[in-house]
Amino acid sequence: MENEKSINKENPDRSGKPTIIGIAADHGGFELKEQLVAALRKADYELTDFGAHTLVPGDDYPDFVIPLAIAVASGKVNKGVAICASGVGASIAANKIPGVRAALITDNFSAHQGVEDDDMNIICLGGQITGYALSEELVVTFLNATFKGEERFIRRLRKVETLEKNEAGSE
């Protein structure tokens, strides 16, 4: 990656484990995913590719994004990159899995702030919207960011967890 020197793959997540990256894309994000996979592997990231492994026009983003999101939620991978044509569908699908905090990211501030304040664990990109150079920069920013863990951020995340458990109306 062009920003290879800024990548800190040894920076562990909060659990102290090395960062393992998961990545997934449908046909709309396939080309961008392949470029990012090559760059992440060149930077020696441990990477799990959830597909698509071949370009199949008309395939469905949930078939790739949901397994990625489940792996992130279960801790099998620490952070994820989900790509579809716009990034919107990938974001919607990923956020259906409890424990996932995914967002469509198009700028550097959101790429790090989403992790620092909201503990975002999946970055979503639009393969037909965001060019490779910017996507690479956003992924590097996302991977290098860490959750601040301040009380106000934890309090907010607990409220989100309550929604995930369908307990929102019980308080």
For residues 11 and 90, the model is more confident at 90
- Given a cut of 80, whether residue 27 has pLDDT beyond it is yes
pLDDT at 42: 92
- What is the mean predicted confidence (pLDDT) over 81-87? 98
Please tell me which of 9-18, 90-99, 151-160 the model is most confident about, judged by mean pLDDT.
90-99
The single-letter DSSP state of residue 5 is G
Chain centroid offset of residue 88 CA: 13
Q: How many CB atoms lie within 10 A of CB 18?
A: 13
Q: Does the structural domain 17-170 have CATH classification 3.30.1360.180?
A: no
Positive or negative CA dihedral for 165, 169, 170, 171? positive
The predicted pLDDT at position 100 comes to: 97
Q: Are 136 and 3 in contact (CB under 8 A)?
A: yes
pTM for the full predicted model: 0.86
Q: Any residues with CB less than 8 A from the CB of 41 and at least 6 apart, and which?
A: 47
* Whole-number pLDDT of residue 167: 61
Looking at residue 95, its pLDDT comes to 97
